[in-house]
Structures are given as C-alpha cells and as structure tokens.
Amino acid sequence: MKKLLLLGDEAFAQGALDSGISGAFGYPGTPSTEIVEYVQSNQEAIERDVKRAWSANEKTSMEEALGMSFAGKRAIVTMKHVGLNVAADPFMNSAMVGANGGLIVAVADDPSMHSSQNEQDSRVYGKFAMVPIMEPANQQEAYEMPFKAFEISEKYEIPVLFRITTRLAHSRSGVTRRKKLPEKKGSMPEYMYQFMLLPAIARKKYKKLLELQKDLEKESENSPFNKYTDGEDKSLGIITCGLGYNYLMENFKDLKKTHPVLKIGQYPLPRKQVEKITSECEEILVIEEGMPVVEEMLKGYLEKKPKIKGRLDGTLPRDGELNPSLVRKALGLASPQGYEMPELVAKRPPALCVGCPHRDSFQALNEAMEKYGKGHVFSDIGCYTLGFQPPFNAINSCVDMGASVSMAVGAATAGFFPSIAVIGDSTFGHSGMTGLLDAVDKKANVVIMILDNDTTAMTGMQDSVVTGRIESICEGIGVKKDHIRVINPLSRHHDENVKVIKEEIAYDGVSVIIPRRPCIQVYAKRKRDKEI
C-alpha cells in the first residue's frame, strides 16, 4: 500500500480511526489541534459518522469521551498539555473508574513554549493517575500506538495516556497503514457500579488500580515500543524516551563504540530492562523530551550507583526542547560549524494582523481608560494577548484560560477600580462563563469585554461553541440587559465605542461589552472557500 504523508498528530488520528473509534473529542490547543481536525476532514470518518465536533473545553470533552466509553464504544479525547490541567479532575478519576469501550487521552506537550504558557510534562499526570502512557518516537509509531492502547485499555479497563510533543506533532513523514478494526457495537459496563465513586466503592477501585500496576509493568516489558539493544561499551548506557531516540540515532554512527540503548515508548517503565541496563552499565544517560521525569525516578533522592546523567546534572539543558545538536554535545561529540548569524538580524515577533478587529477594540479601550492610567486590564489567552505589545500596551495579565474574568472579579472585591476583563469568545465559552456567574452573584463592579471575532483564531480558526449565543448566555447568567452592549470595532465607530466603554466603567455593577466583527483571516478564508 502507498504510504500516507502525515503529521505526527495526523498519524495518531489515522491510527485511531483505523482502530475503530466512534468519537474524537477535544478542545483546540497547539500542538494538539490537528488530531481532531484530521478526523473532521477525513472522508471515511465522515461516512462512518465518527463524532468529531469541538467541545466547550477540555473538561467537558474528557467527560464526553468517558461517556462514550461507558456506552461501550472507543473514543479519543485530545488537548494541549495545559488543557490537561482543566481536565485533571475527570482524568484522575477516569483512572479510578476505568474504561468500558477503549479510551485514549491524547495530550500534546509544548517544550520550549512555542505557543504556550508553560512546558509541563504530561507524563507526570500519567504517573500521578497511574495509567499506562504511550509516547511515540516517530510518525509510524504514532499511527501504531492507538491499536495497542485500545487493546490494553479494554483488557484492563483503564484509560491510556498518549503523549506527543511539538516536533513530532508537527512533522510529516510517510506512514504505512495496517488492517482496520471495526467500531464496537456498544454495550453496558459489566458491573453497574463501575463508574460509581462513592467512598466505599472508590476504596475498592483504588486497590484494584494499585494491583493493576504489576500487570501494566509486564505489558511494558513485552511492549513492541520498548526496545533493548545491547552495545560493546558498557561504561555508558543510554535510555531514551519518545523522540529522544531520534536525536541519539542521528549521532550514533559517529560514536567510536556502540553503547547499550533502552528505547522507551510505553510506561510504566519496563522494570526488567531498566534493571538490566542500570546493573550492567557504569553510567546512564537519560535523553527525554520535557521534564526529567525518568531521570528523577532512576536517580531517586539519595543518589546511588550507577551515576545518572541528563537534565539534572547539566549534561543536557534543564529546560527547553531537545535537538540533535544538544544530544550530540551530551554524547561528547564535536559539532560541525555552521555560519554565524550576522548581528543585524532583528527579531520578528508575531503581531495582530492588519485590519484585525482586536486592534480597534484596544484603541477604543485605551482611550476610554486614559484618565485611569495603565494597569487595570486583566486579559486572557488568544490572538488578543498580542495587545500586550506596542503600540497598544493595553493588557496587564495572561495566566490561564478564563482567568481574566475571575481575576477582575477578585480585584474588584478588593476595591480595585476600574476592573476590566478582556476575553475572546472561545475563551469565554471555555471557562469565562462561570467567572461571570460569580461576578453577578458577588455584584462585582467589573466591565467584561468579550471580543467576538466569530472564531477561535489563535489556534487556526476552529468553530466556537458560543457563536450566536453570547448575549443570551450573559442575560441568562444574570447580567442586566441594559448593560450588555454590542459595539462594532471599526475605526469609523471609534468615538461611539469609546463612549460606550466609558459609560459602562461609570456603571457600578456587572457590565458586558461585546465588540463584534469577524477575524479578517476567517473572513478571507470563507471568501476563498466560496470561490472554490
């Protein structure tokens, strides 16, 4: 069969489709977004009617996937690493209740923070929840892993965490497909208390989860994704996790002698192989993308023999993404010299597009806020976060999705005035609505600006679940109708817009202002789609 040229994300999605999923759930987030997008545009998925619509946030999507698993069908749920914080409650408890239909939680980490607030490592969550983890080294493994993950998930009734990182998620290579599995018909859980975490049942379920760990370790020891290759020079043994293997192999041919290598793609760690390499080698180098998770496990608190090298002792950098050159240095090999970058090269940071509606919103807000000075605007995550940069310098915080509204409420209760929140429409649907309910309940003196550009622009223009519903949501939550104001962020309406913002700042209570105009990229895309 001809190879398919797929991104790591797409390879996982194709593998999930071929292993018989009935649903792909998720909330967009770089670098995970292409998984659900692939399912959404895949002809077979459309014909099979695999469920594939975006959810309001990661927590709801995780729970929807768990519901599909309850109903006896296979499901995946996808998110970026920080999304797993939002879904942490159902994720942790899904390990307790387990799965009926196979369940894979696919999380994409972003070391080096190419487009994220932090570089947390999802393997820590996997270990915390005590679920098996799979971490591919290449696109073909990303394709194969769902088959194995569903097998384990259904055999042991446990969700499996699939962890991928930016480089592989966004890199293409040829993938060979294998025989497809049919979807499951659907069936009730065998025991009706499987999904009941009342304390008396939860205690039993927790013991079961603890006992399961031995079996999961055995699975890892026999996994096709964990591979031990012996080597002649045992002064050093090398353990790689996920795509760390690629950076090792890129340089392996230049080593004078071969070393024993343990390639890991499935956790919990395969105890037998780890014991072999650590007992036979004098030193161990751990090459893992993200945080030093395996390195810390091996090192322990009281350092013993053999010596463990990696990110903690400075052999590799403590933070940031790995690359072949860093690993080359860690192996003690000299790097070829490239050319130097001339000093005159300037940074080219991203900026709001010319014609972006957010530009006009910030201009109006800045003018309305002139008499109060800077420092009053809590904001959130999306294209509009770029309003922090010159020439706008319009916002003062960006913490986690939804935080703008709740932080503004908290500050207002401290007597802070004016207390303004600026949040995007998709982010409002994700987790701004609950904060607004607090604002109404606490009668907070806040102005919440919901920038409605008709899309989730930042992550590549996905549908937003609140489109067409924002005013009715705000009204339903209890914001007074007179203080839900829609404005048109265009320069020709600038003066009226400033006036509206000033009026709502002056009002002592909860105000919502909705600057509404489509993102120009969405506008252009819709026009293109229409032409073709």
Partner 1 sequence: MKKDIILAGVGGQGILSIATIIGYAVIESGYNLKQSEVHGMSQRGGDVQSHLRISDNEIYSDLIPLGNADMILAVEPMEALRFLPYLAPAGWLITNTKTFENIPDYPEKDKIITEIEQLKNKVALDADGIAKELGTTKVMNMVMLGAASEFLELEYSKLEEGIKSVFGRKGEKIVETNLKAMAAGKKIAQEKK
Ligand X SMILES: Cc1ncc(C[n+]2csc(CCOP(=O)(O)OP(=O)(O)O)c2C)c(N)n1
> Residues interacting with ligand X, by CB under 6 A?
27-29, 58, 80, 82-83, 86, 381-384, 401, 424-427, 453, 455-459, 464
The site map against partner 1 for 389-428 (x = CB under 8 A) is ----------------------------------------
- In DSSP notation, 56-110 reads SSHHHHHHHHHHHHHTT--EEEEEEHHHHHHTHHHHHHHHHH--SS-EEEEEEE-
Which listed option, partner 1, ligand SF4, ligand X, none, makes contact with residue 456 (CB within 5 to 8 Å by class)?
ligand X
Rounded least distance, CB 171 to ligand SF4, Å:
24
Structure-token pair, residue 146: 């769902």
Residue with tokens 């042991």: 156
CB 165 within 8 A of CB 244: no
With CB under 8 A as the contact rule, the residue among 225, 247, 267, 392 that binds partner 1 is 247
Please choose which of ligand SF4, partner 1, ligand X, none residue 345 contacts, taking the beta carbon within 5 to 8 angstroms, the exact cut-off set by kind: partner 1
The packing angle between helices 433-441 and 470-477, to 10°, is 30
Site membership for partner 1, residue 1 (CB under 8 A):
no
- Helices 88-97 + 58-70 axis angle, to 10: 20
Going by their DSSP bridges, the two strands 377-378 and 266-267 should be labelled as unpaired
Smaller CB separation from ligand X, 16 or 458: 458
The residue among 26 and 31 lying less far from partner 1, judged by its C-beta, is 31
Closest to 357 in 3D by CA, of 482, 471, 493:
493
Place of tokens 């322990």: 300
127 binds partner 1 (CB under 8 A): no
Task: Please give the Cα distance from 393 to 366 (Å, whole number).
Answer: 9
Could you say whether residue 163 binds ligand SF4 (CB under 6 A)? no
Give me the helices (H) in 377-419, please: 403-413
- Provide the residue type at 134 as one letter: M
HSE at residue 473, side-chain half, CA atoms within 13 A, is 20
CB of 371 to ligand X, least distance (A): 27
Phi and psi (nearest 5°) for 276?
-65, -50
Return the one option of ligand SF4, ligand X, partner 1, none that residue 520 interacts with (CB less than 5 to 8 A, by type).
ligand SF4
Integer Cα distance of 211 and 218 in angstroms: 12
Q: C-beta of 121: minimal distance to ligand X in Å?
A: 16
Residue 27 backbone phi and psi in degrees, to 5: -125, 140
Q: Is 130 in the site for partner 1 (CB under 8 A)?
A: no
Collect all residues with Cβ–Cβ distance below 8 Å to 368 and sequence separation of at least 6.
498, 501, 502, 505
Out of 4, 227, 521, 526, point to the residue binding ligand SF4 (CB under 6 A).
Answer: 521
CA distance 426 to 30: 15
Of 122 and 453, CB closest to ligand SF4: 453
Q: β-strands 160-165, 133-134: how paired?
A: parallel
| Residue pointed to by tokens 């014909």 | 47
Q: Interface mask (CB under 8 A) for partner 1, residues 248-267, using x and -?
A: -xx-----------------
Q: x/- contact string, 454-493, with ligand SF4 (CB under 6 A)? A: ---x------------------------------------
CA 152 to CA 145: how far, in whole Å? 11
User: Is the Cβ of residue 113 or residue 524 nearer to ligand SF4 in the bound state?
Assistant: 524
Stretch of residues binding partner 1 (CB under 8 A), selected from 47-55, 122-130, 155-163, 318-326: 318-326
Query: Which token pair is 412?
Result: 């207002």
Which CB atom, from 117 or from 413, has the smaller least distance to partner 1?
117
Site string for partner 1, 454-493 (x = CB under 8 A): ----xxx---------------------------------
Binding site for partner 1 (CB under 8 A): 3, 5, 7, 30-31, 114-115, 167-168, 170-174, 243, 245-247, 249-250, 323-325, 328, 335-342, 344-353, 383, 386, 458-460, 532
Binding site for ligand SF4 (CB under 6 A): 352-353, 356, 358, 383, 453, 457, 519-521
